[in-house]
Amino acid sequence: MTNPTIIDGTFLAMKKIEAVREQVEKICSQSLRAPKLAVILVGDNEASKIYVRNKEKKAKECFIDSETIILPSDVSKEELEETIFKLNLDEKVDAILLQLPLPQNLISDSFDEKYFLSLISPSKDVDCLTSFNQGRVFNGSSSIYPCTPQGVLNLIDFTYSDLDTSISFDSIKSANLAGKSALIVGRSLLVGKPLSLMLLNRNATVTMAHSKTQNLQDLVKDKDIIVTATGYPKLFNSQNVKDGAILIDVGINKLENGKLVGDLDFESFKNKDCYITPVPGGVGPMTIASLMENVVKLYKNR
Ligand code: NAD
C-alpha cells in the first residue's frame, strides 16, 4: 500500500518568512526605514477581515511596517479612488493591496474591481493585478509575480528538490520544468491565468481547464503537475492521476459542517503514490509569505 507524500506549505512558508525577515533586518541594520505595506479593506466581509488580520500578523513577524485603511461598505467611488491616489503618492508606502471582494454597491458595469485595481501605481502593485504588471507577467519580464501563483511555483520547486527540509529557502533551486505536462483547473486573473503563463515561461506544457471544460477526470491523465483553483469541492478524484504526480490544491471551501477543504477529493488519494498539498496548510500560508516577499522586492525596486 502506498501513501501520498504531503507537501507541507506551512513549513515552506515559515522558511520563506525567515528569509524575508533576514532581508528586512539587513535593511534596518543600515539605518534605513523598514518596507511598508498598506492594505485597503472596504466593508464587513468576515473572511476578508481574517485575511487582513493574518497579513498584519505576518508583516509584524517580518518587521515590515503595515497599515490597514478600513473604509465603510457605503464608501463612495470617489473616496476609494482618493484613498488609492493618496497611497500612490505616499513616499513611505512601498506596496498597496486592495482586499477583494469589494462591496456590491461599489461595482457597476463601468467601474468593476478591475477598475479600482487599475488605479494602483504599478510600482506599488503588490499582487501584480494592474494591466501593466499583468503584461509583464505575460512577457516574463516582471520582477514580482502574483502572490498565490508564486507560492504554487515555490511548492512545485520544493517538491522537485525532494522536499529537503534541511536547506534554506533561498537554496531551493528552480526545477527544470521543460518536458513536464501541467494541468491548471481555473482561469481567474488572480490564480489560474497568471500561473499558466508562469509555468509556460518555465517551459512546461500547459493545459487549461475551467467551468465549461468537459471530462476533467480524463484530462488529469498523464499530467506531471496538476493545480486546482476553482472553489468547487470534490472536483475530481485520484482516478487517472499518474503515479508520482504533484497536486497543488489552491481551493478553499467551507463545508456545511464548518470543515475547510480544498478542490480535490483528498480522501480518494490516500493510497495513491503522489505528492499533494493539504487544505488548510498548503497554498494558503505560501500566499501570505509571497506577499511579504513582494513587499520587500517593491521596496528594493523603488
Ligand atoms: P474565481 O471564482 O475567480 O475562479 C474560479 C475558476 O474556477 C473559474 O475560472 C471557473 O471557470 C473555474 N471553475 C469553477 N467551477 C469549475 C468546475 N466545476 N470545473 C472546472 N473549473 C471550474 O476564483 P479564484 O479567485 O481563482 O479562487 C479559486 C479558489 O481558490 C477559491 O476557493 C479561493 O478561495 C481559493 N483561493 C485560495 C488562495 C490561497 O491562498 N489558498 C488564494 C486565492 C484563491
pLDDT at 110 over 90: no
pLDDT at 109 over 90: no
Ligand 1: which residue has its CA nearest to atom 22?
Answer: 211
pLDDT at 1 over 80: no
Whether residue 233 has a cis bond before it, omega within 30° of 0: no
Determine what percent of the chain is predicted with pLDDT higher than 70: 100
Per-residue pLDDT at 2: 84
CA angle 284, 286, 287 (to 5 degrees): 70
Pocket probe mutation, ligand 1, options 52, 154, 188, max atoms within 8 Å of Cβ: 188
Is 112 a catalytic site residue? no
**Phi, psi (rounded to 5 degrees) for 143:** -90, -20
Q: Is 287 in the pocket of ligand 1 (CB under 6 A)?
A: yes
Pocket probe mutation, ligand 1, options 153, 196, 250, max atoms within 8 Å of Cβ: 250
Ligand 1: which residue has its CA nearest to atom 39?
Answer: 284
Is 150 a catalytic site residue? no
Confidence of residue 173 (pLDDT cuts 50, 70, 90): very high
CA distances to 201, 218, 221, 271, 276 from 208, rounded to whole Å, are 15, 13, 14, 27, 19
SS3 41: strand
Beta bridge partners of 66: 37
- How many angstroms is it from 228 CA to the middle of ligand 1? 8
Confidence of residue 103 (pLDDT cuts 50, 70, 90): very high
Hey, what's the cell of 72? 465603510
Of 107, 102, 111, 90, the C-alpha closest to 38 is 90
Position in ligand 1 atom list of the atom nearest CA 232: 15
Is 170 a catalytic site residue? no
- How many angstroms is it from 167 CA to the middle of ligand 1? 32
- Over residues 118-160, the pLDDT tens digits come to 999 999 999 999 999 999 999 999 999 999 999 999 999 999 9
- Over residues 175-204, the pLDDT tens digits come to 999 999 999 999 999 999 999 999 999 999
Per-residue pLDDT at 259: 94
- Over residues 258-278, the pLDDT tens digits come to 999 999 999 999 999 999 999
Per-residue pLDDT at 108: 87
The answer to whether the predicted template modeling score (pTM) of the entire model surpasses 0.85 is: yes
- Over residues 221-237, the mean pLDDT reads 97
Q: Give the integer Cα–Cα distance in Å for 116 and 37.
A: 18
